[in-house]
Amino acid sequence: MNRINPKDSQNFITSKKHIHEILSRTNINKQDIVIEIGSGRGHFTRELVKICDFITAVEIDPKFVSMTQKSINRSENVQVVHADILNYRFPKGNQPYKIYGNIPYNISTKIIKKIVFESAAEFCFLIVEEGFAKRLTDYRRALGLFLFPEVDIKVLRRIPRDYFHPKPKVDSVFIQLTRKESEIHSRDKDLYQHYFLVPCTQLLFGNLKNSKAK
Q: Which residues carry out catalysis?
A: 38, 59, 102, 105, 164
Cβ 153 vs Cβ 104: under 8 Å: no
E-assigned strand segments in the chain: 12-13, 33-37, 54-59, 78-82, 98-102, 123-129, 151-159, 164-165, 172-179
Rounded to an integer, what distance in angstroms lies between the CA atom of residue 49 and that of residue 128? Answer: 22
Helix then strand count (H, E) for the chain reads: 8, 9
Task: Enumerate residues 6+ apart whose C-beta is below 8 A from 121.
Answer: 35, 90, 96, 97, 98, 99, 115, 177, 179
